[in-house]
Amino acid sequence: MGAYFQEEIECASAGKIKQMQDERLAAQVKHVWDNVPFYRKKLEEAGIKPEDIKGRDDLHKLPFTTKADLRDNYPDKLVAVPLDDCVRIQSTSGTTGKRVVAYYTKEDIDLWEDCCARAIVAVGGSKKDVCQVSYGYGLFTGGPGLNGGSHKVGCLTVPTSSGNTDRQIMFINDLKTTILCCTPSYAAYLGESMKEMGMKPDEIPLKAGIFGAEAWSEEMRNDIQKTLGIKAYDIYGLTELSGPGVAFECSEQKGMHVNEDHFIAEVVDPETGEPLPDGEKGELIFTSITKKAFPLLRYRTRDICILSHEKCGCGRTHVKMTKPLGRTDDMLIIRGVNVFPSQIETVLLKEGYQANYQIIVDRVNNTDTLDVHVEMTPEVFTDNVGEISRRQNELVAALRSMLGIKANVTLVAPKSIIRSEGKAVRVIDNRKI
Ligand code: DLL
């Protein structure tokens, strides 16, 4: 058993957790009923009044909230406090129609940073550590969340943000960074780069990594641990609920503890919406019970996972979730950025192409690649190499502006992409994750 950031809460008895959740859920339902017309209408339509929700056992009576609800209420119609009381927004990487804006009060940020601090202490972090935060800073929650957590623990925080690999490695060596926070694919890339520079794992000052925001396999964990000479831990979260730290891995490296004093987790059958017991695979649903500015009732994450209340060797009592095992929608996570095929299609149609395209995702040297093959229409077909290259560059720019990341574009001859008799196979994901 290691150290804890908030032992009393992290190791609370099942009874204490239930009591906390009961009280906070009832108060949260009243809070949204009083302050968010959208929720009041939704609850009224379901025939529910705040006094019907006395605690966690009544949770299943509440209607779900979906990403579509968030989009329909863009940007601030779900905010449950006066805007004057909000001090920050963060936002998802999806653009236009898909963008979600999450609002925070000062207290919301404080509690979010507690969650991230718990994750840092769980991997052995203390004020003696140097914590390099190589997640992106800005609208993405990764950088700001772990930065705040690192401050709370008292680590020397190195806010490198993502990218600029040489500088990352320089700081790791010069500042003797012990904890690295970034996406697992970037951690693997850093490891490869250091290996190429001739650095041996035992010469690298790092001892632990907190890696999340995208799927990664146990094989990838083993590789990263070997090349960097560290223990690699998972961390989960989503912008809608605050960001990283909704759940985090402990010393056991077997699943992530959900911070149950802030979030009630359920797993439901994605088709019927019926709650499923521990051990069964289904869609992960969260209710945020402490967030004041942007509370969510039974939010459908679209992530597929399994919950477990089995006793954990680390001494923490909060329920554990497996790594997300897939998604119920078609969202791809490419270099940490959420990409929907429909966004790519929107750009192609806007630029005068038809919906004959294929998206090929792969992982080369531990970095995700995104290639889009697009058919030219017969009307605009050309075999002039210069002209093709000009048009490809045009599409690369339009896609970058929509997605926020670079996609390689190849224009192909009319009718060269295989037509499907059933559902079109738009996405070929060759990553082994
Ligand atoms: O990715 C928040 C985050 C930042 C988590 C840093 C961990 C570390 P979004 O950009 O809103 O937020 O994307 C949320 O990413 O619904 C999952 O599908 C996926 N995801 C997040 N963490 C993991 C993980 C951040 N550890 C979406 N494993 C979620 C697999 C993850 N997928």
- Res. 220 pLDDT band, cuts 50 70 90: confident
Looking at residue 363, its amino acid is R
Query: 16 in helix, strand or coil?
Result: helix
Cβ 268 under 6 angstroms from ligand 1: no
Look at 343-347, 412-416, 423-427 and tell me which has the smallest mean pLDDT: 423-427
Give me the number of domains the chain comprises. 2
Share of the chain above pLDDT 90, in %: 82
pLDDT digits (tens, 9 = 90+) for 256-291: 999 999 999 999 999 999 999 999 999 999 999 999
- Res. 55 pLDDT band, cuts 50 70 90: very high
What value does the mean pLDDT of the chain take?
Answer: 94
Is 384 found in the same domain as 247?
A: no
- Residue 99, domain CATH: 3.40.50.12780
Is 218 found in the same domain as 352?
A: no
Domain final residue, candidates 327, 350, 378: 327
Is 372 found in the same domain as 289?
A: no
Is 352 found in the same domain as 314?
A: no
Determine the distance separating the centroid of ligand 1 and the alpha carbon of 244, expressed in angstroms. Answer: 7
**Are 372 and 344 contacting, i.e. CB atoms less than 8 angstroms apart?**
yes
255, two tokens:
């699943």
Cis omega before residue 75 (within 30°)?
yes
Instruction: Note down the domain range covering 377.
Output: 332-429
Crossing angle of helices 184-196 and 218-228, in 10° steps, is 40
Is 176 found in the same domain as 311?
A: yes
Determine the distance separating the centroid of ligand 1 and the alpha carbon of 388, expressed in angstroms. Answer: 37
Determine the distance separating the centroid of ligand 1 and the alpha carbon of 24, expressed in angstroms. Answer: 25
Q: Whose CA is nearest to atom 32 of ligand 1?
A: 214
Cβ 244 under 6 angstroms from ligand 1: yes
pTM above the 0.95 mark?
no
Confidence at residue 209, expressed as pLDDT on a 0 to 100 scale: 98
Determine the distance separating the centroid of ligand 1 and the alpha carbon of 212, expressed in angstroms. Answer: 6
Domain final residue, candidates 310, 327, 344: 327
The one-character DSSP state at 99 is: -
Q: Using the atom order of ligand 1, give the atom closest to the CA of residue 215.
A: 30
Q: Using the atom order of ligand 1, give the atom closest to the CA of residue 100.
A: 11
Cβ 323 under 6 angstroms from ligand 1: yes
Is 339 found in the same domain as 311?
A: no
The yes-or-no verdict on residue 119 having pLDDT over 60 is yes
- Res. 65 pLDDT band, cuts 50 70 90: very high
Q: What whole-number distance in Å separates Cα of residue 126 and Cα of residue 218? A: 26
Is 309 found in the same domain as 291?
A: yes
In this predicted model, which residue has the larger pLDDT, 175 or 377?
175
Cβ 321 under 6 angstroms from ligand 1: no
Is 344 found in the same domain as 241?
A: no
Q: Which of 66, 90, 141 to mutate to test the pocket of ligand 1 (most atoms within 8 A of CB)?
A: 141
Q: State residue 16 phi and psi, 5-degree precision.
A: -65, -40
Q: Which of 71, 113, 137, 236 to mutate to test the pocket of ligand 1 (most atoms within 8 A of CB)?
A: 236
Is 301 found in the same domain as 371?
A: no
Is 305 found in the same domain as 321?
A: yes
Domain final residue, candidates 295, 327, 359: 327
Is 291 found in the same domain as 375?
A: no
Average of pLDDT values for 408-424? 83
Rg of the chain, C-alpha, whole Å: 23
**Dihedral (C-alpha) 307, 310, 314, 318: value to the nearest 10 degrees?**
50
Confidence at residue 92, expressed as pLDDT on a 0 to 100 scale: 84
Q: How many CB atoms lie within 10 A of CB 33?
A: 20
Q: Using the atom order of ligand 1, give the atom closest to the CA of residue 210.
A: 8
Q: What whole-number distance in Å separates Cα of residue 116 and Cα of residue 280? A: 27
Cβ 322 under 6 angstroms from ligand 1: no
Determine the distance separating the centroid of ligand 1 and the alpha carbon of 32, expressed in angstroms. Answer: 26
The one-character DSSP state at 64 is: P
Is 315 found in the same domain as 347?
A: no
pLDDT digits (tens, 9 = 90+) for 89-108: 999 865 555 689 999 999 99
105, two tokens:
């009060």
- Residue 373, domain CATH: 3.30.300.30
No. of helices (H) and no. of strands (E), the chain: 11, 21
